[in-house]
Structure 1
Amino acid sequence: MKIKWVKQSDGSVNDITDFVSTINWGGSAGQASRTLDISVLNSPFDKNISDPNINLGDRIRLYYDDSRLLIDIMVYNRERNNETGTITYSGYDDLNHLLRSNGSYNFKNVTPEMITKKICNELKIETGTIAATNVNIKSMLIDSSSYYDIILKAYTKAHKMNGKKYMPIMSGRKLYVIEKGEIIKDFILSDEVNILSSSYTESLDSMVNQIKIYDDKGKQIGEVKNDDWVKQFGIFQDIYTKEDGENGTKAAKNMLVGIDKTASLQAIGNISCISGFGIAIYDSLTGLKGTFWIEQDSHSFENGNHTMNLDLTFKNIMEVKE
């Protein structure tokens, strides 16, 4: 791993890998912005150890090697600890600007990809590949929402129409919108090879087994439900108001949620294992066998060792915003 520090004042790039004792890199499918924090050795009484004095607003880049950039953050926080002789610097990738900035719009006859590019242009954020939906949004009024939520609201409308799941991510300093759930190739997590510990949980806390469909005048026009779930667990109901141009039944079916099955594990690290992607697992102790989706990931690098903690779901679920 390599750590490079980019000074805001003059743009100079400095390799500080040798000064860094620990690295923590992670993210969540629901958190959006990925994070990085590093601990830098600091001993004011040892002339051989000098504080790089990284300022808030400077940037830190984490590389897997000299060419593969994992994350590029702006420094938001720094903390000095005299007991351990370290300074901790932490920050977020530039998706945080979309989370922390709000806007109001009245969109008409646009696609989610057009909305995304317009927003990024206003915030001066470069874009990479933005998933094309070709779904026309006739009207979407935004009173005041974060730019991130606006993008998700637009892609939620596309999701209801085509059933696909979408996720905004940053690569370097460019925003991409990808189809969520791509399976990590040529890699398996196994209790015989790389899983260090694991757990498995089942829950009814998120169940929705019946949806009533209404028109824009408040009249019920339909209903979808899972009869087996209703019979076994009773009714957990939500409502859906149909919008012009939408298939109300299809959209309502996409809102049904069954038994929530989650798992977590600690394993030998692999940089491809990040939130939003699917992964093959074979764990005989918990019975986790098959493909699962990473909901949250945390990677730690220390003393040449790379370990990761993953929270997993059994279903590829998109974060939606109404």
Structure 2
Amino acid sequence: MKVIYDNYDITDLVRSVEWSGDLQQVARTLTVTLINTANGISPLLAFKNGKIIRFFDDKELFRGFLFKIDKNQAGEVTLTCYDANVYLLKNADTMKFVKKKASEIIKHICSTFKIPIGPIADTGYVIPKHIFREKTLAEMSFTALTTTRKHNGRRFFISNNLGKFTLAEMKVPNAKLIIESGRNLLSLSVSESIEETKTRVKVIGGTDKKPVTVTVQNDSLARQYGVMQHVERADEKLNKAQLQKLASQLLKDMGKVATDMTLESLGINEITAGSVIQVYNKMTGINGTYYVNSDTHHYENGVHTMSLNISSSPNLAEVAYEEA
């Protein structure tokens, strides 16, 4: 483990490090706890907000900026840092996009505010129109991705790699990262819920004077759980076939029993929010592939552990578009 502050190696001062992320957030967080004194009287370093912080564990895992400094009379210091994606939260603007993909919207946003860009996946769906008024760049990005997901079913997540914004499609490959009892699993709790399940979806298009309505239902789920209907207003320019496709995609996404899990295990640096992993535990009956929604890695005294929230479907940020 190594921590670099503004080109100074401060590893010997560090007590512990937490490195975390969440699919609901645009930026990952690094929290460093350290002792900044040799004599208990004066500090060794004068930490300043805005400086670059880097964290290594075999390889560089985090590169970001110091945003908060907490310190006390005993010389104990906690540094809170975020990667460069934090500037999507720290900036707001008014923008209009016509016939643009979410990937094109995000590229424009990052370029305008000089946020370094890495690989950006092509999101495919062309959004007819999105007008954003006094919205943060994060809200704009999540809204465009939510609209895309509703229309083509493709899921994308935001991350940052060594200082550069990235957008990747979330797929389900053969998960090679495994957590199981008797190997690396420390604890596991499981929740299965139909609280957010929908068995019927109604989509309303057209105009107020000439509405076009499409309704689709999962008969099997409706018999099992009852009718639970979602209603959504769609772009008035969509034809009936497009409304049917949208309704079917919404029902596919919403017509599921949610399986949500929290686990603790020995740490694996490759497992972060957006990862796909395999989990095996006989007591809870968990045996399969799951998405990582959030992760917190803890490093202290040479021991690396992690806490994960995982689920059968990724818990991506949902920001519905509202006509400005």
Q: Is TM (by shorter chain) over 0.5?
A: yes
The answer as to 2:116 corresponding to 1:121 is no
Q: Kindly provide the CA deviation profile for residues 92-120 of structure 1, in whole angstroms up to 9, marking residues without a partner as x.
A: 11211102211212211222222111111
Report the equivalent of 1:58: 51
Please give the secondary structure, in 2, of the residue aligned with 1:192: coil
Q: Kindly provide the CA deviation profile for residues 238-292 of structure 1, in whole angstroms up to 9, marking residues without a partner as x.
A: 2122323572223223333222211111000001111111101111122111101
Q: Kindly provide the CA deviation profile for residues 188-247 of structure 1, in whole angstroms up to 9, marking residues without a partner as x.
A: 111120001111111222222221111131425211122233333333222122323572
Which is worse superposed, 274-283 or 230-239?
230-239
Q: 2:286 aligns with which of 285, 288, 294?
A: 288
- Could you tell me how far 1:144 is from its partner in structure 2? 2.5
8 Å CA contact 1:184–1:272 kept in 2: the answer is: no
Please give the secondary structure, in 1, of the residue aligned with 2:318: coil
Matches within 5 A, 1:241-320: 241-243=233-235, 244-245=237-238, 247-256=242-251, 257=254, 258-320=256-318
What's the TM-score, normalizing by structure 1?
0.90
Report the equivalent of 2:63: 72
Please, which runs of 5 or more residues in structure 1 have no aligned partner? 7-12
Please give the secondary structure, in 1, of the residue aligned with 2:220: helix
- Could you tell me how far 1:50 is from its partner in structure 2? 5.1
Report the equivalent of 1:152: 142
Matches within 5 A, 1:74-153: 74-82=65-73, 85-153=75-143
Matches within 5 A, 1:204-219: 204-218=194-208, 219=211
Aligned residues: 312
Aligned-partner Cα distance in 1 for 2:91–2:71: 29
8 Å CA contact 1:182–1:277 kept in 2: the answer is: no
8 Å CA contact 1:196–1:268 kept in 2: the answer is: yes
Q: 1:185 to 1:14 in 2, by over 3 A?
A: farther
Report the equivalent of 1:226: 218
Q: 1:152 to 1:212 in 2, by over 3 A?
A: same
Report percent identity of matched pairs: 26
Q: 1:134 to 1:265 in 2, by over 3 A?
A: closer
Aligned-partner Cα distance in 1 for 2:274–2:245: 24
Q: Kindly provide the CA deviation profile for residues 42-93 of structure 1, in whole angstroms up to 9, marking residues without a partner as x.
A: 346358x95322111112111123xx3211121111111446x521111211
8 Å CA contact 1:181–1:293 kept in 2: the answer is: no
Please, which runs of 5 or more residues in structure 2 have no aligned partner? none
Aligned-partner Cα distance in 2 for 1:263–1:94: 29
Report the equivalent of 2:5: 5
8 Å CA contact 1:61–1:72 kept in 2: the answer is: yes
Aligned-partner Cα distance in 1 for 2:52–2:150: 38
The one-letter code matched in structure 1 to 2:195 is D
Which is worse superposed, 256-265 or 175-184?
175-184
Please give the secondary structure, in 1, of the residue aligned with 2:71: strand
Aligned-partner Cα distance in 2 for 1:205–1:40: 43
Report the equivalent of 1:34: 28
